[in-house]
Structure formats: C-alpha cells, structure tokens
Structure 1
C-alpha cells in the first residue's frame, strides 16, 4: 500500500483500477474452473472420457485463439478495446453455460467463447506493462502486485464456487460470474487507459525456434509440460474422486483448492527471496520433490485432515514452478525473453491437453484411483528430468 501512495493521486486511481480488474476477473474465472468437471459430469451427464476431452479441446482452441489475438494485439488496434471485447465474450460464455446443457454446443460454441474470454487476462497484463513503462514507474512491483491479486482470487473463488454450485445450482453460479465480468467491463471501459502502441521489431520470429536447439531447453520444456500435466489431472479429477470414491463432502474440493492457492503466495515470495542463494535448479528440484510427496500422499491418505495437510506440498510444488519455471526458461535463453516466456506458457497448455486425454481415458478404463498412481509416476519422471537441466 505504501507503494501506491507514492504514485500520485491520478496514477493511483489507474493502478487501483488495474488491481481491481485483475482481482475481479480472477474471481470470476476461479468460480467457473474448479467445478467444471462436476458440471459436465452431473449437469451435462457425460462419461469421464468426454469430460477429459472437453479440457483437451478447450486447451487446443485456447492456444490457437490466444496466439492469433496476441499477434493481432501487438500489431494493430487499441488493446483496451480488445480487452473489452474479450470481457463481453466472457459474459456470453457464462450465460451459455448457465442455461445450456448440450455437450456438443458447449464443446463448440462454449469452447470458442471461453478461448476468447481467457485472452483478456494476458492482454490486461500487457496493457499494464505498457502503461507502467510509459509512466516510468515500478514495473516489477506493479506486475508482482497484480499477480498477487490472481492468487488471492483463487483463495476466494474455489470455495465460493462449490458453495454456490452445490447450494444454489450451477445456473446461479455462472450468472454471478457473468455479473462480475460485467462490473469488470465497466471498470475497463471507464478507468483503464489506452496506451499508444510501441512499434515492435520485425525480426522477433527468427528467435522463436532457436532455443529449441538447446538440450537443456528441451529437457526443461518436457519437464514443465509433465509438471502441469500432473497438476491439471489432479484439478480435473479431484472433485469427482473425493465425492464418488472417497464419499467426502463436495465442498471439500473447493476448500482444498483455496487452501493450496493461499499457501502458494508465501511459497512464491519465499522462492523469490531464496533463488539467488540456492539457484533455480535446486528450488525447482525441491518443488518437484514436494509434488512427488503430494501425489504419493494422495494414494496413501484419504481423510479430510490428511488431504488438507497435503496441500502444503501442493502449494510448494505449484508456487515455485509457476514463478521460477518461467525465469529458468528466460535464463537458459538470454536475450530472448519473449520466446522463453512463450515456451513456458506453451508447456502449460500442452500439459493441459495431455492431462485431459489421459485423465478421461484412465477413469473410463480403471477408475479414479488409477489417476493418482499415474500422476505419481509422471512426477517421479519429472523429478529425474528436472535434475538434469543445468543451473544458470
């Protein structure tokens, strides 16, 4: 807060608008994502394979749409208007999911609307970076505080999502998310600035593939992809597993997700503080080792208290790889931060695609319990791969 007070009254209002939009849109997203597998299973009444397929198709379309819009946003038009358009698509997507229970419609029109909607958040961060650069203020601190809003949103969103969906119905939950997006749209329209576009160099494309020639970059990409495969398989399967197999309350899934998100914030901050002393490879190996313990713990311990306690390992795992992973890519590809960040985000998207297919097929053939044995095995492989990437 002291940082905000030093910015001047005019800048303060704009910065607070950025924070408000990041938090509110984060909450709206965190209302929808945690209960999606339950929604498809119970409301749309599809088999586990089709639940997993939905996540896979959603990730593939999301990659294509985000790449197209990102390229367009960097070359032409007003970025703020694109954010407003994406926010409108988010409202339309919420309304569609609120009143439609037809799988084919949801996996086509719904996925397209969701892909357009999900582009809003990276565009908001891009606009915030451009504005901070133009105003010559604390860019790193500004970005860090904005990212903290997303983590805070995921502390609040998942428990609220399960409470609304289970007590008042999915229609109410999606309509509340739509209302939050409408308020966000109003803030974007009246409070966020338009920033004059800075001309980008034309030779960026030449650097996009060169990093892939490095063995360490390839290893880190595969390891990162597998990390996010494990995490996404857990997120897809866990709400169904604890209610159908373990007989625990449905609301526990939201509590577990919110607890992990809350613990991730200090894990991120502590990792940032320790990275200079211990190096990125040691911290990433520690993170993946915590992930291995978490997934093995899910196989062995199934009580309410044990699942809550295991979230400490989950938070260490996700909190570190989400922050340090991107920096490690950038260090392995000096002078190519854009390409490195793209590889990191693509590893996440590829992990989501793989997770949707594997989770659905496993549950369909062997049941939910098999998912956690496979995740544990993948996490062990990831630990080996991560330990072989050089430190920088």
Structure 2
C-alpha cells in the first residue's frame, strides 16, 4: 500500500499529477502571509536608496555600503536563527518575533535624521528582513512532511517562490506609488503597521498549523529520503553536500549585481535600445519565472530535482556567454527568457534539494542555502567592478559566464557522486497502479 501511495505521489498517472496544484490549497493561508510580508519589505526596499540620498544627504557609494553591511549582518542572523528554529516549536516564535522586530525597525527608520543613524537601524533591525520568508518555507516543509495529503514539497516550494516573486513586483510598485504620494517617512510607518498585522496573522496561522500537524500521523512517503521501517534518515554527509550546493549557488548568482548595473548600459550604448525596451528587458525574467516555476516543479518530480537544477545551471552559462556576443535588442530579449529558466529551475529547485539534504532541519537547511544571496551580492559587486574595468560593459560578462561554468562543473561532479542525495535521475519513476 505504501509503494502504491509513493507511485501516485512520485509519478504522473490517471489525472493525479504529482504537481496537482489543488493539493497546495491547505498552504494558501501561509502563502497569503508571505505575500503580504514580502510586499511590505520590497515596498520599503525600493525607496531606501532615494531616502538615503534625498533625505539624509548620503552619496551613491554610501547607499551601496548600507546594503552591503546589512547583507553581512543578515547572513549572520539568518544562519543563527536557522540553527535554532529546528528545535521544537521555536520556528513559530522566530517568525513572529522577526515580524515584530521589523515593525519596530521601520517605525524607527521613519524618524532618523542622519546616514549613520540609518546604517545603525539597518544593522540592528533589518538584519532579520529575510528571516520570515526563510522560516515560512521551512514551516511549510514541516507541514508537508507531517500531513497525509497529495502535495509534494517541490510543488509547495514552487508555489511559495511564485508568491515571493509576486510580492517583489507588488512591493516595488507599492513603494513607487507610496514614494510619489506619501513620501518615504509615511511609507515606512505604513510598512510598520503592515508588519504588525502580519505578526497577528502569523501567530494565528502558525498556532493552527501546529495543532493540525500534531494531530496528523507522519506518513511514510516518497518524499522521505532513505526511509527505513518508517524512520526517516538523512543522506550521509548531508551538511557537507549542502555547503557544496551553497557554494555553487554563490558562483551561479555572482553575476546578478553586474546585470543590474551594466545591462541597461549595454542596451543603451551597444544595442541602442529605447528606454521602454530597457525596462521591459529587466522585468521579463521574473515575469517568465511565474510561468516556468510550475513547469519546473513538475519536471523536477518527474525527472529528478538534480536533473532540473543542472538544466537551469546550463541555461545560466549560455545566458552570460550570449551577452558577450549579442548585437540586437531582440537577441537580448530571447536571452532574458533563457535567464528566467535559471531562476525557475536552479534557484527554486535548490531550496527543495537543500531541505532534502538536512532531513528534520528545514530551518537550518533553508537558511544556509538562501544565505548564498548575501554572499553573492558582496562577491558580485567585486566581480562587476573588476570585469567592467578590465573588459568593458559587454565583454565583461565573460567573467560571470566563466564562474557559472565552474559552478556547473562542480555541481555536475557532486551530483554524479551522490545521485540519490541530489535526486539525479535519467528517467522518470515507473507508474504503479493500485
């Protein structure tokens, strides 16, 4: 009976597709919480630079330093909270406490009058800005493992990533409107109130989720790597493999800062594209990710998470390499769609892989994995500076292309040595009928 249940979850058949989005329905309240909280955070993030420059007299360099320092502090806090969040019911407390801390930070930020004060507030309060989303992803993983339903972790993580992408779009849009009609200080106060509302909502939803999970027996399913006799075990050397995955993602993501800073220049100077097309090019990858993520989630369960991860990594190599040789705006738009495949495949599936490598420690795994974004932001700034200075704004993309190629080689080697841990498959699992 267990084998039959696993086949239905791990293989498509008779309309019960493994990534049946109806099965994600019980997690929609948590997704709504993530949508609101991420929208609030991105709304404030979008106006920080202008606030620092126009209200506090900071230079562009000082504004950049603020983001770098907060990213370093955020990485330390994310790793620390991730380690403690896997103990008992502390994940719920950390989510609620981080939302309360952010609410206080935004309220204080609305009153600062100097750049040093803004920097201090950022280090002290906004070091937790990534914690709620990380822990919500870990919390949903806990529920998936303990609920006896048809949802898979890959489907739920894909849905959470889609919600996070929507939150970024909505947040930046709300931030622009708030800046135009309210100003930065009132906007920060509004965001503070929204964080308090998220705090109340999180306390209610997470307590209800804990009650349901505690009353639900832990099923033995195909999601449980290495189950033996109903007892779940983690892959040997899972933490070491997770660190390899994080290093790979740092290499894959180190070109993002260069994209933000140099892609508009490339379009205007080398490709002579109009300003309207420049904005569309920047918005195209995250828009395409919304469509590609469900497809990649299905492919990951059908053909293996590791296989889909490597396909996305190969897309990043082709993307950066293509930027070096393109000559028309149309070619760039095609490459932007290709880059969306990297985000939908490698970034999204990597979260699921990380949680599978640290069975029972989803908070630690997600925190370690997503901390690559902080490291990549700092490393990417150095890559962009050196690449542009030495090679120019177009040929300079050869450097991130090389880093991505190294990352693809390292991940291929690691996945081939540990195919079970990284869910590397050559063919889909057989369908078993009851």
Do they superpose with TM above 0.5? yes
Q: Which residue of 177, 192, 196 corresponds with 1:182?
A: 196
Q: CA deviation at 1:172?
A: 5.4
1:317 Cα offset (Å) = 1.2
State TM-score, norm by structure 1.
Answer: 0.71
Q: Give 3-state SS (helix, strand or coil) of 1:125's partner.
A: helix
Change in CA separation of 1:69 and 1:334 when aligned onto 2, cut-off 3 Å: closer
Q: Give the aligned CA root-mean-square deviation in angstroms.
A: 4.5
Question: Which residue in 1 is equivalent to 2:172?
Answer: 158
Superposed counterparts of 1:99-248, under 5 Å: 99-100=111-112, 102-130=114-142, 136-137=148-149, 140=152, 142-162=156-176, 164-165=178-179, 169-171=183-185, 173-193=187-207, 195=210, 210-211=237-238, 220-235=245-260, 237=261
The match for 2:312 is 287
Q: 1:125 to 1:48 in 2, by over 3 A?
A: same
Tell which structure's C-alpha radius of gyration is larger.
2
Structure 1: gaps spanning 5 or more residues = 6-11, 199-206
User: Among residues 294, 298, 301, which one is paired with 1:269 in the alignment?
Assistant: 294
- The answer to whether residue 108 in structure 2 is matched with residue 83 in structure 1 is no
8 Å Cα contact 1:55-1:356 kept in structure 2: no
For residue 204 of structure 1, what is the aligned residue in structure 2? none
Match in the other structure for 1:65:
77
Measured after TM superposition, the shift of residue 321 of structure 1 is 1.0
2:67 corresponds to: 55
The yes-or-no answer on 1:312 pairing with 2:337 is yes
Q: Is it true that 1:375 corresponds to 2:400 in the alignment? A: yes
1:260 to 1:181, Cα distance in 2 relative to 1, 3 A: farther
Contact 1:55–1:353 (8 Å) recurs in 2: no
Inter-CA distance 367–274: structure 2 relative to 1 (3 Å threshold): same
**1 CA distance for matches of 2:115 and 2:203?**
33
- Classify 1:222/1:126 alpha carbon distance in 2 versus 1 (closer, same or farther; 3 Å): closer
Q: Is the 8 A contact 2:246 2:372 kept in 1?
A: yes
Does the aligned pair in 2 maintain the 1:281–1:386 contact within 8 Å? no
The residue aligned with 1:201 is none
- Tell me the CA shift for residue 164 of structure 1: 4.6
Residues in 2 aligned to 1:84 and 1:337: alpha-carbon distance in whole angstroms:
19
Residue in 2 aligned with 1:9? none
Deviations 1:98-121 (A, max 9, x none): 454633323332132112243122
Counterparts in 2 of 1:147 and 1:249: CA distance versus 1, 3 Å? same
* TM superposition shift of 1:80: 3.7
- Secondary structure in 2 matching 1:58: helix
Pick from 94, 102, 105 the counterpart of residue 106 of structure 2: 94
Structure 2 counterpart SS, 1:322:
helix
- The C-alpha deviation readout for 1:49-93, integer Å capped at 9, x for no partner, is 544443332222112222333344444775444333211222233
Find the aligned partners of 1:189 and 1:330 in 2 and give their Cα distance.
Answer: 24
Conserved? CA contact 1:298–1:307, under 8 Å: yes
Aligned counterparts of 1:91 and 1:251: Cα–Cα separation in 2: 37
Q: Distance in 2 between matches of 1:100 and 1:247?
A: 40
The 10-residue stretch of structure 1 (108-117 or 217-226) with the greater mean CA deviation from structure 2: 217-226
Q: Whole-Å Cα distance in 1 between the matches of residues 43 and 163 of structure 2?
A: 15
Structure 2 length as normaliser, TM-score? 0.66
In structure 2, list runs of 5 or more residues that go unmatched: 1-20, 215-233, 420-434
Alpha-carbon distance in 2 for matches of 1:281, 1:208: 15
Distance in 2 of aligned mates of 1:292 and 1:39: 36
- Please give the per-residue CA displacement for 1:168-196, whole angstroms capped at 9, x wherever unaligned: 65445544433432332332245542637
| Structure with the larger helix share | 1
TM superposition shift of 1:312 = 0.8
Q: What SS does the aligned partner of 2:207 have?
A: coil
